Amino acid sequence: MKFFTVQPAFTMETPLPSSELMSRIRRTIKELELRDLGTAGACVDLRVPADERRFWSPHLNVQASDNGSGSQLFCRFSPRPEIWTMFMAIYLVTACVIFAAAIYGYVQWFLGDTPWALVLIPIGVMLILALHVASLIGQGWSSDQMDQLRGRLDELIKRATATD
């Protein structure tokens, strides 16, 4: 796992055009009664069962696009949307505080006052690094669920691309 990878991703190739593949995946999800574990529309979202969900449980988002010989799937593991939104909100607020502290600290320095606001900059950077490390730890703790979701995707693709 790379240090800067917040949302691990991978690609897959399939022989079917993307519209046909997504249609077959939707049908396969209905046949296997996986509606609570996966949805398919323009993209496929696979989730961990509710009784196995933890704070750091991932979900797998899959998007299909046509290429010359079929379709390419772009697959990305992410935290659940509500957790991802919380992390991004904390990142944004912290970045805004760092920016404001830099401006206010510069004004304090320019006016000859003690630039105490500059102390917030390293604190904010440490908070951002701590959030990033927390996300990496969560990825490590959820690697079993990432494997489970990848296995479910492989099974869906296998069934969807099987010849009738």
pTM exceeding 0.85: no
Tokens of 18: 């993307």
Residues 6+ apart with CB under 8 A from 126: none
Q: How far apart are CA 57 and CA 48, in angstroms?
A: 7
Q: Where are the domains of the chain?
A: 9-80+143-161, 84-135
Class of domain 9-80+143-161: alpha beta
**Alpha helix ranges (H) inside the chain:** 18-31, 81-110, 120-141, 143-161
What are the pLDDT tens digits along the chain (164 aa)?
455 566 788 888 888 888 888 888 888 887 777 666 667 667 888 888 888 888 888 888 888 888 888 888 899 988 888 888 998 999 999 999 999 999 999 999 999 999 999 999 999 999 999 998 888 888 888 889 999 999 988 888 888 887 55
Give residue 51's Cα distance to chain centre.
21
